[in-house]
Structure 1
Amino acid sequence: MAAEGRGQSDIIIQELEILKPQIIELQCNLTDIPSKPSNITGFWRKDGKDIENTQQTIYRHNEQYILKSIFNIQANDLGNYSCIFNYLEKEAQATFVLKVPEIKEKQDRPIVSYIGDTVVLKCVIQPTPNTWEWYKSNGTEKEIINATAEPWHYEIFLDKNVTKLTLLNLTEEDSGKYTCSAVFNITSSESQLDLKVLSFLEPLKPFLAIAAEVVILVTLILLYERHNQKHKSLIETTDNGLYEHTSMQEENTMEDEETTTRQRKVELQLK
């Protein structure tokens, strides 16, 4: 496999799908270097770390510089391989991404279903894997799903590059993360699906919460109005009592004044 560069530091990425362990040759060609030095230095990096014993002197040949190496690729060897060219205090590189095929149509959002319903989880990949496996996450661990042992609850459909997991008679315990695994000779490619199983009352909870808030608000308003009404009645009662008491005092005062006046008149007559 080869990648070409033109004397610049931009990263050129080439993706390679690896299905089985193999020996692979990676090659990079660098051209158009100013001043055309007779030789430059080149080496390889994997996932950002220099690979030991890969540095070599590269001589110009037909106006280009070629760096190539052979790698034995096993499962742990998958990753990003970058060829690095050092020249005139500059650095140029190209990157090969060695990986297994990726599962298509990955779910970014949870799949929502309800208690007692049936739900189907699906995964698709190209090319066709050796086989498929399904797992359910239990905390930090994954448990393989055996549909044969629980046919009343699980059904697994396999058709070359497609697999489907059907869950029957859902319960809240079925909520969680499910992993479909496409098994290749070198390693497996996985995708995770998140399932949420809700009760039928779950969608009503926001409306019930709003209704409860409305009831509380109306109750508070009624209590406030009732309190104001009682307070108003108490003030009116107090005002009426005060008026009656004042009137009686005024009447008594007038009577006393009349009596005093009469007494004075009598005294005047006697004199």
Structure 2
Amino acid sequence: MFILTFCLFIFTKSVYSGVAPKLTRFNPEIIQPIDSSLVLNCAAYLGSHPLRFQWFKNGLIIDNQSNRYQIDTKSDFSFLRISDIQLNDSGNYSCSVINENGLDQQWSSLQVQGLMINESPVLVKLYSQNNHEQTKGSDLVLTCNVAKGSKPFRFQWFLNGVEITGSSRSSIETKDIFSLYTLRNIDSNDMGNYSCVVSNKFGFDKLWIQLTVTGLQKFYIFSKPILNEFPISEIRLSINASYILSCTISSGSTPIFFEWFKDDHKKLSSSEYKIDNYATMSSLVFESLNRNDTGSYTCNTKNVYGSDSITTKLIIQGLI
């Protein structure tokens, strides 16, 4: 039965002489995450030989010599493989087949998603609880990071509903998809509701914490450093995003020294990573995250009287 079926298939192909080609229909819309791969199959189910295939992007012929675009053509079909897909690969892809009797064409629109297109912003939920307690004299560092949404973004910081514009003790650093608010040497007058609002023309999102200031910061002699815990144990971020991981001292006598480690063993150096160290805090800055940045990050601090460390995990995703 198998032999008969096979022979019938060969006979059927052979009798299509003098027939224009027909292609199997494409999916009209394809959505792919950034850094993935895609294979488009252009298959002629009808038509006399020889058949000639051609691939186009936005009406322009695709060069088969590209490192990320590979074309494999046989007698009845042609494959287009796109590797390591990037945002600029979005577009209209079409395949045409022609013989001496006519031609046919199919096309598909590819949308590559990293940060979503035409979407309101969504902030990374960095804080596992909204009540936040710090000791008097320490530094408050708050991070507001966009997980997805359409650029450009506008960031605003508020204290008890009043917009923060900065002061001699505070600073706001904003870049692309994150904003960092730092308030130094806090005291009881700084207690209140701190919120970050990010907006674009499609909507907004908001995060907030309620700050309580307690006691005196213990920067005494014979006091080992104590670190504030990272807000959550696992942080999910979008590929190509920027992010600042901050490590701040709750108490301890100065001078205090900081070190960063990845996956508990690799010490991070300033030649490979952007590391900003201050008297009572250290920041690990990621300008453009990639999948290799996924891992556990540990901040270790020490002085002559002891040491402390905190750890969190970053998970970098192509599509959140």
What is the TM-score of this pair, normalised by structure 2? 0.31
Q: Which has the higher strand share?
A: 2
More helix by share: 1
Q: TM-score, normalised by structure 1?
A: 0.36
